[in-house]
Structure 1
Amino acid sequence: MSSSRAFALSVLVVSACVLGLAPILVRLTETGPAAAGFWRFVFAMPLLLVLTARPKSWAGGGEGIGRPSKWMILAGLFFALDLSFWHYGIVMTSVANATVLCNLTPVVVTLFGWIVFKERPARLFILAIALAMSGAFAMAAGASGAQGTNPLLGDIFSLSVALWYSGYFLAVKQARTTAGAMRITLWATAIGIPPLAVVSLLLGEDMIPATLAGWGACVGMGVMHVAGQGGVAWALGKLPASVTAVTILVQPIVAGLLSWWIFGETLTPVQALGGALVLAAIVLAQWSSRKPGVPSDGDQTKTGAGPKGPAPVNV
């Protein structure tokens, strides 16, 4: 693995760990689920504007605001749907379940690339996907069942997020062929604000946090959004979408551990085993991406991660 690819992978792992804070902060915002997403986007905007306008850097700054492409618009709409369903899932079921089920994105991304772009994944990668999904199922099935207001509906909502996040994922991947990470994240965030506001108002949610701690959680979500989602968007320009989709499965592991520590949600032995399987799948997927004779330096043209979508052999 070249140093540039290793660095991109390191940024991706750190970003995924940062995003593992999201379900914790959602519960601490003292607002409705969709309203939490609204404040996440609102507080992220000032930082995104600064980063987009700053001198050009490795993070993709310096482009200027410009105009959103159709892929940025789609990314914003898909992300608004993602947060609306997922935040309700976080409230209705356990943090571990909500985060794992919504991260079944690799299956959708890989099937999309396979069916639409005729990009057949390697056998070892298919094994990695199966292992990851087995781990995800174990984490969901092994939950104690005592968390959340409506565990079954919460699990369904969280499962649907895999579809919305896959749409976001693929839209960002396409947008990265012509724009930098910060500009894409800026426009996807700005476009997602109005839908989240409408959803929260129509559902009669509490829009305003009751305490300073609630406001702090809202601000924290904005910072987390820029650091986490911006890092993932940047990595999508350096790594195949399929590799990125599996690697971000460290997010539910981080969220599960934090929910156990902060909220006392039980991490059962079965859930712990599921987390170990997911980590093993990530290692296997990275191994499967190292085909002999194929450069692993993040060159999109050479690795197959170009404009047509996710690479055929990586997740």
Structure 2
Amino acid sequence: MSAAPTPESSTPVASGRALGVLIFGAVVIGFVPILVRLSDTGSAAAGFWRLAFALPLLALIAARSASTPGGGLGGAPSRLAMIAGAMFALDLGFWHYGIALTSVANATVLTNLTPVVVTAFAWIFLAQKPRKLFLLAVGLAIGGAGLMAAARGGAAGPSPGWGNAAAALTALWYAFYFLAVSAARRTEAATRIMFWSSLTGAPLLLLAALALGEPILPGSLGGWAACAGLGLLHVAGQGSIAWALGRLPPATASVVVLIQPLVAAIAGWILFAEALGPLQALGGAITLGGVALAQWSARPRPPVQS
């Protein structure tokens, strides 16, 4: 991307560190579908418990960062942090229902259109024109994720039309979340954004779960443990992603997090004996190749010698 790097990401070492943290966050979030499956509660309710269990730890971490620029919990939350929370609540709710209503293939492919939305938004509204090689990398990464989903297969689902729409809108909500967090990180610490966005999103998901008549409370001790685990993954995973978004272009970051479905597929293979066939493996390799190409193509251009 042609966007100027922030001061924090102006050196190769700083950019490499941010990329490492982003990959760590994406890997952590890749385990979320496993715990959602084990949560023993409704789709939106699982999202509510994810944020509710994360909030005490986020509050503690944010309070301890009061001495850092843009940190702490003092004052009212910023509009961008609240927008990020609303977008994330929509992302979780639509994603969970998309998986329930349509095929795994459709839900995965449509949800992973986030980099397209982010790149288009940055190009049109932020004048961040992507390089042709970056666009190729986006196509490879999404194609690899799509191949993984198609190889995994799955029934059409009870309501494919609504499920496909929900999955497509998930990509839109997650893209807006990326852009809101990236903009907020210019003036606020990641811990503060994470706390206020989670506090904004939690009641929205609870209201959605109640309106849809979902079971709110997990039906087993294992379900409670899974919900608590979702909270920990949220702090570690989304917290790392939010931190990295202050140091990397949002379009580049949105491509890197496409390693999430690869991690989820490997975790499902290990934990639930879900077959990981050759086509899925090929799709995973293509996705990783696209991610690596996107990061390489987004590196700063060397200055032109006069």
TM-score (norm 2): 0.88
Contact 1:86 / 1:161 at 8 angstroms: preserved in 2? yes
Shift of 1:51: 0.3
Letter matched to residue 81 of structure 1: L
Letter matched to residue 4 of structure 1: A
Shift of 1:194: 1.5
Contact 1:92 / 1:154 at 8 angstroms: preserved in 2? yes
Alignment match, 1:173: 182
Alignment match, 1:223: 232
Q: Secondary structure at the match of 1:145?
A: coil
Letter matched to residue 24 of structure 1: I
Please give the residue correspondences for 1:1-315 in structure 2 after superposition, counting only pairs within 5 Å: 2-55=12-65, 62-92=71-101, 98-99=107-108, 101-146=110-155, 153-293=162-302
Alignment match, 1:310: none
Give per-residue Cα distances to partners, 1:252-271, cap 9 Å, x unaligned.
Answer: 10011112333343434323
Alignment match, 2:5: none
CA–CA distance in structure 1, aligned partners of residues 67 and 244 of structure 2: 14
Shift of 1:119: 2.0
Structure 1 residues 165 and 223 mapped into 2: Cα distance closer, same or farther (>3 Å)?
same
Percent identical among aligned pairs is 52
Q: Which has the higher helix share?
A: 2
Aligned length: 293
Structure 1 residues 266 and 96 mapped into 2: Cα distance closer, same or farther (>3 Å)?
farther
Letter matched to residue 245 of structure 1: S
Q: Secondary structure at the match of 1:142?
A: helix
Letter matched to residue 13 of structure 2: S
Structure 1 residues 273 and 154 mapped into 2: Cα distance closer, same or farther (>3 Å)?
farther
CA–CA distance in structure 2, aligned partners of residues 120 and 224 of structure 1: 34
Alignment match, 1:302: none
Gaps of 5+ in 2: 1-10
TM-score (norm 1): 0.86
Structure 1 residues 273 and 153 mapped into 2: Cα distance closer, same or farther (>3 Å)?
farther
Shift of 1:154: 3.9
CA–CA distance in structure 2, aligned partners of residues 118 and 55 of structure 1: 33
Shift of 1:211: 1.2
Shift of 1:212: 1.0
CA–CA distance in structure 2, aligned partners of residues 287 and 131 of structure 1: 14
Greater alpha carbon shift after TM alignment, 61-70 vs 46-55:
61-70
CA–CA distance in structure 2, aligned partners of residues 186 and 291 of structure 1: 32
Alignment match, 1:312: none
Contact 2:104 / 2:149 at 8 angstroms: preserved in 1? no
Task: Please give the root-mean-square deviation of Cα atoms over the aligned residues, in Å.
Answer: 2.3
Contact 1:49 / 1:186 at 8 angstroms: preserved in 2? yes
Letter matched to residue 254 of structure 2: A
Structure 1 residues 243 and 263 mapped into 2: Cα distance closer, same or farther (>3 Å)?
same
Shift of 1:146: 4.6
